[in-house]
Structure 1
Amino acid sequence: MVSLLPPLPDVPAAAGPTPPPGRHLLVLPEGVAADEVEVLAVSRFPHARWERPPRVPSGRRASGAARGAAPGATAGVLRLGRLSTLTGPFALEPGQVARWGLPTGSRVAWVVDCPRERVEAPAYGGDRDGLRRAFGTAGPVREELRVVQWLVAAARRLGGALRTETGVVLEPEMDAALDLVVLTDRWAEPAVVLDAARRVVARARLDGPGADPGRPRATPAEAGAALAQREQAGAGVADPAERRRLHAEADAFDQHMRENPPPSEAFGVQVDLGVDGIVVVEVAVEHEVPSVLGGLDWARGEVVAYQVRWEAPDVEELESERPSLTHRVARGRAARAVRGIARELHGEVGGEIADMGGFLVDPADL
């Protein structure tokens, strides 16, 4: 059979005398187009661009082994950063899939070239993405770490895998990317967020400074800032009558602040799922605008983030690359609440929904 893609040359094994530095493989199933990979790259690397777009002849992709490329098929080069590129797509032969221990559904590969930057560091915490298993104690840092983390996120989003330079294959679970965030330029009152959550899970409740849905309470810092003005009133004023007048104004202002506290700039909603853990909605200003919002006019002003995340019953399981069946079952049930709440919030405030990898999600897919 003839593939419409050029075949992938064999990649030297990591155990060889001179393995290529920073040469990883992004491995994907059938049907993932090059522009899908480009969108994910631009979402994480704002200056990503094609240096040479791939050329794939039109027509139906042939199935089976890739024994030759269609005439005119060439791989493209997508620059991720100053020193990193992604070259592909290439067709994978069945022999390569078996030899490299790739998932059986692997059909396409992208070759990644990036600097080899490693630093010895003590192991701590979990290894959700399997990077410690792949690289040992000398893990990637700086640009290589940014590229590898993106490769894991892209493989998870597209149902693929990452074969690292070390020869280890990482196959991240698609369902593990559970948390979502609604990014918008609109604030919603705590009562609105609570109602949105209760449309999905009736036992949702307000949590934190905004626990009063009618009037969110000010934080101690906000209230203290107003009361502190009382101590400054009249400082440096020699006339006793003028000092008394300034103190009276400060007292009146303090009384007004006690009776009319300013709204909190952050609040939350909590949904107790019992044995399945807790879903938390955290609302606050996003001070660093995510790259995924680049080019959107409304994102140039104040961006509000409605984080919808799952707190698992067992944190260690949450950070495990291959969690237990019990954890996966609880995660599946919690996913329905996370996705439903994010969808309802998006209906209230608009904007965009992004997943844990920083990639946009269509509300219709939730």
Structure 2
Amino acid sequence: MSPLPTLPHPDGSGAAQQYQARHLLGLPADVLVDEVETLALSRFAGARWDVAPEGTEPLVPPARTAGAGEPGVLRTSRHTVLTGPYAATGAGLPPGTTLVFDVVCPRERGDVPYPGGGDRDGVGRAFPGGLPVREEERVVAFLVAAARRLGGSVRTDVGNPAAPGVVLTPDPGVAVDMTLYSDVWLDPNAALALVARLHPRTRLATEGKSYGGPPKGIAELPLYPGEKMDPALRRAIHAAADDVDIKALTTGAVLDGYGLLLDLGMDGLVAVEVGGEEALPLLLRGLPWTADGAVSYRVRWEPHDLVESQREQPSFEHQVARKRAAQVVAQVARTLYDAVGGEIADEADFLVDPEDL
């Protein structure tokens, strides 16, 4: 392949700075350019190469293929394009960065970050004057998620003299949760048996408390102070409500969802939430087995300290617990996949190869 072209120098003087934002996505040498297209298709329905880089095999037929030394142009929407890859020289990205995509999107900023709010990716630090909203928010969220997945970094607001860019290197360990999508429904007891083999402290989360009916005398009390409903009518309404409750409690219901809980002790909980799902990741929509939706098996970690989990630099103890919990989440997702098949997605709706778990 031809040497990568040089990244264009940022121009911070034009009026376009008022309306357009420029960010950089830096990636290591072992990343294939085709992976960037796949991730873009996972988040943007209309993503496509206007100009496909040399040596790539696009999933969506491109308008044309780039010539020698010419960068590709990946469009994610009418207003946003990723151009590249470029060489990393002069990009201001961390050592180890080899490929760079130059990202231009609408400049759309909202409120300043909330002081003390959760900011595990450092986005508030990168945009202290106003967080991205609408299109730019979607683009920045994608760039951060792609950098996390591919081991890269993001440099924000390149060429903007009023707001010097910040480099974000998302921690891959932050993304713990996974979701398995399948066309197979596991009975609660079958799912419990599978997961309990991995972790003996697993239980069904469908148990509830028996309903003892409404409090005694409630039919004689007014709904609010001064309420003047006829006492006979009030009693009749309560009696009708009781009939509905009794029918619901004595009539069999079709189970459309359930959960499992894995007690990890000092590391928190892992919850498995099972139910029907119609809002599928983009790459799964339109497949024969997802035409009517799918069954989702959401495997989520619930740490003891939610505030700590949203810090950009959490404590060492939290990181250790997170690593151990991530291993459990991956094992559960893989075990369920072996039983029901389907596809596994991470927190960003990027598909995961089960062999990598």
> Normalization by structure 2: what TM-score?
0.80
The answer to whether the Cα contact below 8 Å between 1:185 and 1:301 also exists between their aligned partners in 2 is no
SS in 1 for 2:140: helix
Deviations 1:149-200 (A, max 9, x none): 0000000000000001141011001111110000122221111221222122
State yes or no: 1:108 paired with 2:99. Answer: yes
Equivalent of 2:184, from 183, 186, 200? 186
Residue 19 of structure 1 and its aligned partner are, at CA, apart by 7.7
| Kept in 1: contact 2:112–2:128 (CA 8 A) | no
Counterpart mapping for 1:111-190 below 5 A: 111-121=102-112, 123=114, 125-165=117-157, 166-190=164-188
Q: Which residue of 2 aligns with 1:90?
A: 86
Aligned-residue sequence identity (percent) comes to 47
Per-residue deviation, 1:357: 0.9
State the match for 1:8 in structure 2: 7
Per the alignment, residue 310 of structure 1 pairs with: 301
Structure 2 stretches of 5 or more lacking a match?
A: 57-66, 158-163, 212-242
Q: What amino acid is aligned across from residue 36 of structure 1 in structure 2?
A: E
Q: CA deviation at 1:35?
A: 0.6
Structure 2: how far apart are the matches of 1:170 and 1:275?
Answer: 30
2:196 is the counterpart of 1:198: yes
**Contact conserved, 1:56 with 1:73, CA < 8 A, in 2?**
no
Comparing 2-11 and 137-146, the one that deviates more: 2-11
Unaligned runs of 5+ in 1: 58-70, 212-216, 221-250
What is aligned with 1:223? none
Query: What code does the residue aligned with 2:345 have?
Result: A
The alpha-carbon distance between structure 1 residues 219 and 106, as it changes in their structure 2 partners (threshold 3 A), is farther
1:354 is displaced (CA, Å) by 0.1
Distance in 2 of aligned mates of 1:87 and 1:265: 45
CA distance in 1, matches of 2:38, 2:281: 14
Task: Give the conservation status (yes or no) of the 8 Å contact 1:77–1:86.
Answer: yes
What SS does the aligned partner of 1:74 have? coil
In the other structure, the counterpart of 2:253 is 262
What does residue 353 of structure 1 align with? 344
Which one of 254, 258, 282 corresponds to residue 291 of structure 1? 282
Answering whether residue 329 of structure 2 is matched by residue 338 of structure 1, we say yes
Query: 2:2–2:68: 8 Å Cα contact kept in structure 1?
Result: no
The alpha-carbon distance between structure 1 residues 218 and 39, as it changes in their structure 2 partners (threshold 3 A), is farther
SS of corresponding position for 1:333? helix
Inter-partner Cα distance in structure 2 for 1:330 and 1:365: 21
Distance 1:290 1:272 in 2: 29
